[in-house]
Amino acid sequence: MKDLKTRKKVIRDHSPVLIGNSFPLGLVKRKISLEPLAIEELAKRLGIASEIFSFWGHEDTLSAASEIAGRDLTPRSARPVLEISDGYPELHGETFRECFVLCPSNRSGTRPDIGKPTSAEDVRSWQSLLLTWPDDES
């Protein structure tokens, strides 16, 4: 198997992956790194993951996002809630040092109506981000 390269490290394992359509910044309790990630790299990482832990929050874009990601991003439970454990995100009892975010960019000049999520038809493109929590606070 080929190594999947990110800017700072090589990912060789099949560890579980945490992914959502956004990440609540109010849950950041320690230093993080945030960087754009090519959609193709996200799909590769999801392809070797042993398990997907999804906290996808918008049913309207779930199908399109799953297709782009190459894996089903349906959460295990309705409206999953991220927790924080020692400063790291936790979902369903699993603690993570990385979180992938796949978020839609709306067509130019459009925003969803108040209280209505973005529909797949309104998506112009997709942005992939990688949040990483280093082991130390330095």
Question: Does residue 6 surpass a pLDDT of 80?
Answer: no
Query: Is the separation of the CB atoms in 9 and 110 below 8 Å?
Result: no
- Which phi and psi angles does 50 have, rounded to 5°? -70, -30
DSSP calls for the chain: -PPEE-SS-EE-----EEEES---GGG--S--EEEE--HHHHHHHHHH-S-EEE----HHHHHHHHHHHTS----SSSS---EEETTEEEETTEE-SEEEEEEEEEPTT--PPTT-PPPGGGEEEEEEEEEE--SS--
Which structural domains are found in the chain, ordered by start?
21-132 (3.40.50.11170)
pLDDT for 123 equals 81
Question: Does residue 2 surpass a pLDDT of 90?
Answer: no
pTM above 0.85, yes or no: no
